[in-house]
Amino acid sequence: MRRLLATVFACLLAGACASPATSHAEGLCHAGETTYFSCTASSGKTISLCGNVPAALQYRYGKASKLELAFPRDASQGARQLGYAHYTRFQVARTEVGFTRVDVDYAVFDETEDGRRAAGVRVTTADGREHEVACAGAIHGRLETLGGSLRCDADNALNGGNCP
């Protein structure tokens, strides 16, 4: 027990324990996948972004007993089909990972402003109606870890037209 505590303490001091994305299963992610993002909404449904980029990445929504949406169907296409957007300034950081499916836009968002964190998924229909499913509990993972692995979303205002 002492050895375990000493290891944990050393890990914390070195900063090696703090991982932006967890490597064990959280939410709808499976063992062996990295949880890039996961939280539970007030409805009890879970929003997750799971995989091992660049090989696989998939958005999942629903409950473990009944998955309502998994995009893309083939997780190996995720790095190509999901887009990344990020904006930062003093005391503000906004990150989104988005995709379009059947004329509906989805944006998993994670934003911090003045030390307050908000996250969830925004769904925008073809006629412009927007619905937000906000995280109601703990938020696992960090979307910004995907910045170097996903294509820059040129249509997202957060990028300010700065896609290479």
Residue 162 forms part of a structural domain: no
pLDDT reported for residue 10: 34
Alpha-carbon span 73 to 60, nearest angstrom: 10
User: How far lies 64's CA from each of 30, 47, 51, 68, in Å?
Assistant: 10, 11, 16, 10
pLDDT reported for residue 25: 67
The 10 Å Cβ neighbour count of residue 23 is 13
Residue 3 forms part of a structural domain: no
pLDDT reported for residue 111: 96
Query: 37 lies in which domain range?
Result: 21-154
Least confident of 23-27, 62-66, 75-79, 152-156: 23-27
Residue 9 forms part of a structural domain: no
Q: Which residue do the tokens 């700065």 mark?
A: 162
Helical segments of the chain, H only: 2-14, 78-81
pLDDT reported for residue 28: 96
What is the pTM (predicted TM-score) of this model?
0.83
Residue 50 forms part of a structural domain: yes
Residue 40 forms part of a structural domain: yes
Residue 120 forms part of a structural domain: yes
pLDDT reported for residue 121: 98
pLDDT at residue 164 greater than cutoff 80 = no
Q: Which residue do the tokens 């939410």 mark?
A: 27
Q: Which residue do the tokens 């995720």 mark?
A: 78
pLDDT reported for residue 160: 86
pLDDT band of 161, cuts 50, 70, 90: confident
Instruction: Provide the percentage of residues in the chain whose pLDDT is more than 70.
Output: 85
Residue 7 forms part of a structural domain: no
In the chain, the number of structural domains is: 1
Mean of the per-residue pLDDT values of the chain: 86
pLDDT at residue 63 greater than cutoff 90 = yes
With contact defined as beta carbons under 8 Å apart, do 93 and 87 qualify? Answer: yes
Residue 4 forms part of a structural domain: no
Least confident of 67-76, 104-113, 155-164: 155-164
pLDDT band of 26, cuts 50, 70, 90: confident
